[in-house]
Structures are given as structure tokens and as C-alpha cells.
Amino acid sequence: MTLEQQFIEALDRISSICTPEQIQDADTIISIKTPSLWNQVPNNHVWRKKEHHGKKTEQEGRGILASMGVDTEKNCGARLALFCAKHHDHGRVIEVKYGNKIFPQGFEQGATHGGHTMTLLYFWGALKPFRPDVIDIIHRAIATHSDKISPEMPPEPSPIDQAATLFAWFTRDIDKLTFYHHEVPACIFSNQERIGQSKIIHEGYNENYSSRDNFISPEILKSYLTRMTDGGKTHVERADMRNNCDYMLQVASQICDVKYNTILQEIIKTNAIQLILGYLSHIQTWGIYKDILSATRQYLISRGVAGENFGEKPNDYYNHYKHSFNCPICKELGV
């Protein structure tokens, strides 16, 4: 049985322990609270756009579930998965406060933004409509979506443990798909985005980081190539990043954390990985670029989502997106 089939079975099981009305009630509570929450983030902050990231993630999730043959209107488990996707990132606001040396009461310092999101949902009473076992699924799906490592499936999981893990994987994967689909071009072509991202990395990971293009750091390159060959066991550490090329290679490395092949296939369709490869081909030596391309291609072939010609003509992707990103007419047309 594929992972997608296991997930669909879990969605059907969850449909018997929650109702559309409960999800709608919770969604209404959160929708009332979030505008004032996000207004606390300055408009020029790189994470202000995360206010709309959740809705984009919900939209991406709806498309993926439809491709799996799931009716997202009738299947209550699917609606709960989309609820988690929509509301997974509100804790970013708390991280912004921490960056400004403001420490709100009731939030655990050192927790991820996924953990902060769950604290907000508890504070708001948004989870009161649900049974405890459904709350457990929501908690694990949202709280672990920002963890460095995906949660592991227990050896002999209970139905709730299995559902919670599958939901967590889905939330993490859809979050990545949304980022690849909507944010990668800006990470490459927007100076404003680069500067904003640089500030975040300075605060949280490495004060020596620069938003400029440069050769990939040896530690990042080694970690990336190893990660592609060991199936994602090695991690590309953000603390080792020194420049924007390091950051983009770290972004590309996240494909190894995608559990659902259906979502990984959709990520490839966004051309985000091809764009990153095209960007790197303009800056790195041919030898380094060839190693990166070969390792990436072989990993994707091993997952059954790409062929031997993956990554050919990287300049085509790079030049297309560079033109689209900087052309006002293309932006208006959504090219």
C-alpha cells in the first residue's frame, strides 16, 4: 500500500470522529483573531507575507487531495488536513517578537513557530470544538511541521498515532510545495527578499551570513551531496550557511524530506528545483555544478519522479524566471 493510500484511509477514519461544523467553528475563531495578530508584524518584514502563506498552502493541499481522488468537500478528514495546512504558520508572529526582544507570556522560548502556533490556538479556544484525539492529531500536524526532522511512524502505531504522523507529513510536504511554488524566484531575484532573509539568518543561525552570491561553502556542498546519496539522513545545517548560494542549496535539499511522492512530483512541476540549479550554474564552477546536478538527478530518479534528462538546459529556466520576475507585464499576466 502506498503512503498516499494509507493517508486516504486515515482521512476516512478521521471523518468518523469530527464534523464539518466543528472545523468551521474552529476556523471562525481563528479568522477573528488572526488579523490583529498579523498587524503586529511590520509591513516591511520578510515574514509579513506569511499572513497569506496559510491560505496558499490550503489551496495547494486541496489540489493535491483532489489528485489523490479525495472529495475535499465531503471528506471531513480531508477538511481537517486542510485546516491544519491553513493555520500552521501563525506562530511566525511570535518569532518576530522574539527577534525584537519581546517575550510574550505563556510561550516557550526555544519552541519552533509550529509550537507557538499551537499555543495561540489553545489561548484562543480554537480547539474546544474537537475531541481530545482529534486535538492530538491537529497538535502533532502543526507543532511538528517546522521541526528539523520529520516525525517517525511508531513501529506498531495505533490508528490515532498513524493518522497523526500521516497528517504531520502531509502538512510538512504541502508547506514545502507552497514555498517552492510561490517563493523561490523571489529568493533568487529580489534584493528586498534576500536582505530580509539575511536578517532572519543573522538572528537565528549565523551572524556572518551575507545575502550576496558567492561560491558554495565546502560544508554546505559536502552536506548536500551526502544528503542526496543517503536519502536525507544528513542535514544541510543553516548555521553553516555563508551566502545566498548556500541558502538556495539548503532550500533544494528539502526535497529529501518530502514523504508523499504525489507532492514531490508536483514540486518538480513547479520548476523550482530546476530554477535553483540554473541559478547555481551561473555562479559555481562547472565541476561543482555538475556534482550538484548529478546528485540531485540521481536522488529524484530513485524516487521515481524524474528521468535521466532532469536539469538539462538550466539557463532556460533561469532566464525565463529572471525575465518574468522583472517584467511588469509578465507579472500582471502571471507568466
Query: What's residue 198's pLDDT?
Result: 85
Q: Which of 242, 238, 21, 84 is nearest to 148 (CA)?
A: 238
Beta carbons of 267 and 200 less than 8 angstroms apart: no
Beta carbons of 14 and 163 less than 8 angstroms apart: yes
How many C-beta atoms lie closer than 10 Å to residue 284's C-beta? 20
Q: What residues does each domain of the chain span?
A: 3-178, 183-333
Query: What's residue 329's pLDDT?
Result: 42
| CA dihedral of residues 109, 111, 112, 118 (deg, nearest 10) | -110
> Residue 261 burial (CB < 10 Å; 0-12/13-18/19+)?
middle
C-alpha grid cell for residue 283? 555562479
CB neighbour burial string for 192-214, b if at least 16 within 10 angstroms, e if fewer: ebbebbbebbeeeebeebbbebe
Q: If the chain, 335 residues long, is cut into consecutive pieces of 10 residues, what is the mean pLDDT of each piece?
A: 96 96 97 95 87 95 97 96 97 87 81 93 97 97 91 93 97 97 91 84 78 92 95 88 94 96 97 94 92 96 94 74 59 44
- CA 182 – CA 178 distance, rounded (Å): 6
- CA 98 – CA 116 distance, rounded (Å): 11
3-state secondary structure of 156: coil
